[in-house]
Structure 1
């Protein structure tokens, strides 16, 4: 553990201010729906650069935000310090230990590529462009979640920079902060054995307790999958009927099979294949770590129940092609998103939710229902909540031509259909609602995290996030 008290803004990283060349380029990320105008951007390359940025912010009591790929921005932000970690993208794989050390700015695609060279795979999400570290700090619901649990469950260590209080008596510090005492900025290597409470809070607590510069996480010996999707015409087949057959089918599958259902009305755009333009498509996505023959046997009852498909991509595939199971968009765009965990699935209510977000809606909405359980329900030494949930419903709404408030109001109506079975919300799938944190944790987890926040960030510097204070 290293303590820093110098309040000067010096750093070996590039520092950008409004109006300077490179400022707007450094802000650019995947989410384009929210405006950030920090007073200072630190383009960090090393952990020392992060220390310098936090020290600068602490001396002036400025709020701190962190951005890697820019997928999960909590909303608009004016002023303060932004730490850009995109250059901290080093990934080192230890094939003998089956671990990867992941820099704060590395994407899942980079991690998967590095792991594949050794016959290993990370427990990544569906989109390769998402930042791995931020995703893990929110829990990490991966495409193999039912077999292996949350990605956070596999973390071995976390390197983090905290701002944990005023400089202590006898410590040397330089300079005088104009808006309060100099904060003690500390670099910590955190493990479950060395600091179990902080380790618990970092994994699930998001960006509330400090700036994570790197972490070490376990990999799994997976090189191939049986996976893909079955797509159906949502106008020809009632989505509620698809959901009913899907729920019955999920009761028969092993933990090695993780799946979800998604529905959307594709926009009528020339860059899309003609058979998708303007069509309402409901898809069942599958990822199974067993062989193709067993995968076909497991999926056969679902095929029989649902009938003809629009598209069927189920096949054996290299893990590096797992991104094709969900085919998440790879281009930056504006969106608002939220989610709810459910204790059980009321098919009629879920069908109503899908209908509210389907062709009759005033705007485009993407709905996804994830089957949970399996290893996701097992306890682990971290703050990832709602492990007793059986399902997760997510709604993502593009903001082109519509406002966040309009999308939020629509989400409230849609999620209201399943309110009787709602346990809470998922931090990983809250996009743009940083002003609303209720439900992200159960009461006991939130209280425990608030205690850690008071200990490791008493000035609440790290508040450009889904803030606990």
Structure 2
């Protein structure tokens, strides 16, 4: 990107405050520390941090960057953070967390900085369910622009399928509305394309009339891992779409919030949700309850407001590294291969190795097509490791070994919100060739100067 002024980058940054009405922090100034993401393993050292409070702050930052040769990226929570360097300005949107619920229309209008917990707090008193992910502390916008695989994904599909519209600042500094009827190309690409086509400032979503569910988790000792995983793989085959489940081999440290029965040992968690006939949901879980004696059983009828308790994902920031593989099937051979590399006696350093059942409503095309691909996978395999300096390299290497173990049953694909990285081969794993082409073409149209060409975005490869 060329610099159309004679100012140096450092000199230009001193004028950024004149282009926005909010706080701007340069390195070493108060507020700059707000750039630290939830995943503290990501090296985030931007040229400046703009603590946006309005869409105009976002648009002003983008126009400034275009004039002075910077790129711009966005962060609300930083759960899916990747590295940011000193040629990039970070727009921090956590102050833009407004959430307005319309109970009669069953919709919510949500600001760019809102977390799913904000929407749960506003919607569930009306008996309405926002289609969040497993962790309510994750940002709404980042989750939805990556598709959104939540605890009810087999029942309702990807959460982005329930988006009604966006307000977005494009790379040319315009604030646009994107719906199926207005700027439909943007609406297509923002659902699955992450920040490729712009910085979302607010989103309007459907809320479903789900007041409660039957769910929670069964926890077994690691010594029962083989019996539990084999039974789970067989049990999954005949489950109806009203049921969602995942299973995780866990090695959780003795930290606040980790139940004493699970801390400092290998355990196996069977996560479960059922909607509709809750008595039938209880009956369907009975075979898994009978596999072995559980250390802890939290499955019960729960208010939807407690949906985050199903997975019990960590709340506090930490250094993590992820890898993902999508599987076309899960035969017993795949289960045994996974147990050999991540089960008892394997020496696995991963905190979590999770299999999540997909299919159901996710596999069907939604009413409005989107850039979210990879709907036909049967299961997702996710590894999550703590990237502490002493073991970070070992964790990454082992995650690759886990993926290799299930390679005969893997599709070679991934989803946008999982295993973020700058790996140049990753876009082809996340998107089809046709989707890559259209995302890149739209990015050229809406961001001709490449202002947003940083992070996990799709751009035309130029020679």
Fold agreement, TM-score > 0.5: yes
SS at match of 1:197: helix
Query: Deviation of residue 318 (structure 1)?
Result: 0.8
Q: Structure 2: how far apart are the matches of 1:209 and 1:38? A: 21
Where do residues 173-322 of structure 1 align in structure 2 (5 Å cutoff)?
Answer: 184-235=172-223, 237-239=224-226, 241-268=227-254, 272-304=258-290, 306-322=291-307
Query: Deviation of residue 121 (structure 1)?
Result: 0.8
Residue in 1 aligned with 2:353? 367
* Worse overlay, 436-445 or 31-40: 436-445
Query: Deviation of residue 403 (structure 1)?
Result: 6.0
Please say if 1:65 is aligned against 2:51: no
- The answer on whether the counterparts of 2:422 and 2:455 sit within 8 Å (CA) in structure 1 is no
- The answer on whether the counterparts of 1:230 and 1:311 sit within 8 Å (CA) in structure 2 is yes
Query: Deviation of residue 405 (structure 1)?
Result: 4.5
Please say if 1:428 is aligned against 2:417: yes
Residue in 1 aligned with 2:8? none
From 25, 30, 36, give the equivalent of 1:28: 36
* Worse overlay, 148-157 or 348-357: 348-357
Query: Deviation of residue 78 (structure 1)?
Result: 3.4
Q: Structure 2: how far apart are the matches of 1:196 and 1:148? A: 22
Please say if 1:15 is aligned against 2:13: no
Cα displacement string for residues 294-339 of structure 1 (whole angstroms, at most 9, x for unaligned residues): 22211112223x1211111110011111111111111110001121
Please say if 1:441 is aligned against 2:410: no
Residue in 2 aligned with 1:4? none
Q: Structure 2: how far apart are the matches of 1:350 and 1:63? A: 44
Where do residues 315-330 of structure 1 align in structure 2 (5 Å cutoff)?
Answer: 315-330=300-315
From 424, 440, 457, give the equivalent of 1:467: 457
- The answer on whether the counterparts of 1:368 and 1:395 sit within 8 Å (CA) in structure 2 is yes
SS at match of 1:56: helix
- The answer on whether the counterparts of 1:77 and 1:464 sit within 8 Å (CA) in structure 2 is no
- The answer on whether the counterparts of 2:230 and 2:335 sit within 8 Å (CA) in structure 1 is no
SS at match of 2:457: coil
Residue in 1 aligned with 2:446? 456
Would the alpha carbon gap of residues 436 and 77 (structure 1) be closer, same or farther in structure 2, given more than 3 Å must change?
Answer: farther
**Residues paired across the two proteins, number:** 439
* Worse overlay, 223-232 or 283-292: 283-292
Residue in 1 aligned with 2:51? 43
Residue in 1 aligned with 2:90? 82
Would the alpha carbon gap of residues 354 and 86 (structure 1) be closer, same or farther in structure 2, given more than 3 Å must change?
Answer: farther
Q: Structure 1: how far apart are the matches of 2:20 and 2:84? A: 26
Query: Deviation of residue 247 (structure 1)?
Result: 2.0
Query: Deviation of residue 371 (structure 1)?
Result: 0.6
Q: Structure 2: how far apart are the matches of 1:279 and 1:376? A: 34
Q: What RMSD, in angstroms, separates the aligned Cα atoms of the two structures?
A: 2.0
- The answer on whether the counterparts of 2:133 and 2:148 sit within 8 Å (CA) in structure 1 is yes
- The answer on whether the counterparts of 1:354 and 1:367 sit within 8 Å (CA) in structure 2 is no
SS at match of 1:114: helix
Q: TM-score, normalised by structure 2?
A: 0.90
Query: Deviation of residue 410 (structure 1)?
Result: 1.9
Residue in 2 aligned with 1:336? 321
Cα displacement string for residues 106-159 of structure 1 (whole angstroms, at most 9, x for unaligned residues): 000001111112210101011111001110000000111111100110111111
Q: Structure 2: how far apart are the matches of 1:126 and 1:410? A: 24
Where do residues 376-415 of structure 1 align in structure 2 (5 Å cutoff)?
Answer: 376-380=362-366, 381-402=369-390, 405-415=393-403
Query: Deviation of residue 404 (structure 1)?
Result: 5.1
- Give unpaired runs (5+ residues) of structure 1: 1-6, 164-183
Query: Deviation of residue 412 (structure 1)?
Result: 1.7
From 313, 336, 339, give the equivalent of 1:351: 336
Would the alpha carbon gap of residues 434 and 464 (structure 1) be closer, same or farther in structure 2, given more than 3 Å must change?
Answer: farther
Cα displacement string for residues 170-200 of structure 1 (whole angstroms, at most 9, x for unaligned residues): xxxxxxxxxxxxxx42111011122222211
- The answer on whether the counterparts of 1:434 and 1:466 sit within 8 Å (CA) in structure 2 is no
Q: Structure 1: how far apart are the matches of 2:31 and 2:54? A: 19
Query: Deviation of residue 270 (structure 1)?
Result: 8.1
